Structure 1
Amino acid sequence: MKYRTLVVLLILGLISTTIWIGLPQAPAAVRISDAGSGFRLPDLEGTMQGLPEGEVTLLNFWATWCPPCRDEIPSMVALHDKYAARGLKVVAVSVDQNRTHLQSFVREHGMQFQVLHDADRLVSNSYGVTGWPQSFLIDKHGKVRYHLLGAVDWMSQPLVKTIEGMLAEPAGITYGSTGGERENNG
């Protein structure tokens, strides 16, 4: 009896291992100091857009049905209004399924920055985003300098100071993996 149980367990283990190895691998997430992943997504009019080049960019992954996402939008709008003229680009990537609902939401909340539609979540997955909201601050060289998890107040003094510092950096400076980057988990 023990021998049969061992054989059955061994066979189940082999089958499980074979299935596990055959599963598709998740894409590697973008890490701090990695170059921001190049991508193209449709904007709300259906025109394919990518990340701005040579600009400080706030890349935010969000959804209209996500309460924390909705909470941070007013401060993101205020940040855009205050710093767009100084070169800050805000790119909000929505994972909503319904484009019409998304368009209405964006109009209602006065989101004058670029909103892209990632309905199949391929770009979100390429950045390792599995929960919303998540944001990446990308420098003028396309390097991810900060990764922020969860809703944040974009007009808080530490974030404003960080963004002002990034905007003030000359375009000729490049940063390695120790160039002041950090990950904010809350």
Structure 2
Amino acid sequence: MMKYRWLLVLGIVAGMGAIVWLALPKATTAAMKQGPQLAALQLPDLKGQLHGIIPKGEVVLLNFWATWCPPCRKEIPSMAELHNRYAGKGLKIIAVSVDKHRDDLITFVNEHDMPFQVLHDGTTYVSQQFGVFRFPESFLIGKDGKIRHHLIGAVDWESQPVLDSVEQMLSEPFSGVVSGESQPDNS
């Protein structure tokens, strides 16, 4: 009798776990929506000016973060070093904050002297388009606008595997066409 109770409890717990797992947002959203849909997204910077998320012809490190997130804060210094290493060499770092209040974000960015572009996604609309629901989450995007790497959690941006990936992406030629754009028919 006791064995059946344990099996029943185990079955209920497993069933609840499956329901929770299925209810989580899918991290594959970005892979399905690459191209014009993502390339057209814009967010305001700290002064309210709109900027595109995926600049044409550049390697992009797109990082979704929040000021209240300890792992996000942990990776900022190495992200700043990565920015300094590749400034003017074709790598663009865009840190998209999901903080609700822009004033809190401005204060944080000024206090931490973040040298790369910071955009504000206070409604989390853009984050949702990328399937982001954990922070930090980062995407390394090639010159062609394709997502090459999706990284979840804090990253040491100065680690050799990251530097190797960035160097490889920077060395790739750019055809002038971003993923999802139609190419002219030259026939």
TM-score (norm 2): 0.75
- Preserved CA contact (<8 Å) 1:33 1:144: no
**TM-superposed deviation, 1:95:** 0.3
SS at match of 1:92: strand
CA–CA distance in structure 1, aligned partners of residues 169 and 108 of structure 2: 30
Instruction: List aligned pairs for 1:112-151, cutoff 5 A.
Output: 112-151=115-154
1:55 is matched with 58
CA–CA distance in structure 2, aligned partners of residues 159 and 32 of structure 1: 24
**TM-superposed deviation, 1:171:** 1.0
Structure 2: gaps of 5 or more residues: 1-24, 180-187
1:83 is matched with 86
From the superposition, tell whether residues 97 and 31 of structure 1 become closer, same or farther in structure 2 (CA, over 3 Å).
same
2:174 is matched with 171
**TM-superposed deviation, 1:147:** 0.3
Instruction: List aligned pairs for 1:67-82, cutoff 5 A.
Output: 67-82=70-85
CA–CA distance in structure 2, aligned partners of residues 42 and 173 of structure 1: 26
State the Cα RMSD in Å. 2.5
2:38 is matched with 37
Identity of aligned residues (%): 54
- Preserved CA contact (<8 Å) 1:28 1:126: no
**TM-superposed deviation, 1:32:** 8.1
Structure 1: gaps of 5 or more residues: 1-24, 177-186
2:96 is matched with 93
2:7 is matched with none
From the superposition, tell whether residues 33 and 88 of structure 1 become closer, same or farther in structure 2 (CA, over 3 Å).
farther
- Preserved CA contact (<8 Å) 2:57 2:176: no
CA–CA distance in structure 1, aligned partners of residues 137 and 32 of structure 2: 13
Superposed CA deviations along residues 49-103 of structure 1, whole A, max 9, x for unmatched, are 1121110000000000000000000000000011022110000000001111111
2:5 is matched with none
**TM-superposed deviation, 1:172:** 3.0
From the superposition, tell whether residues 173 and 26 of structure 1 become closer, same or farther in structure 2 (CA, over 3 Å).
same
SS at match of 1:31: helix
1:14 is matched with none
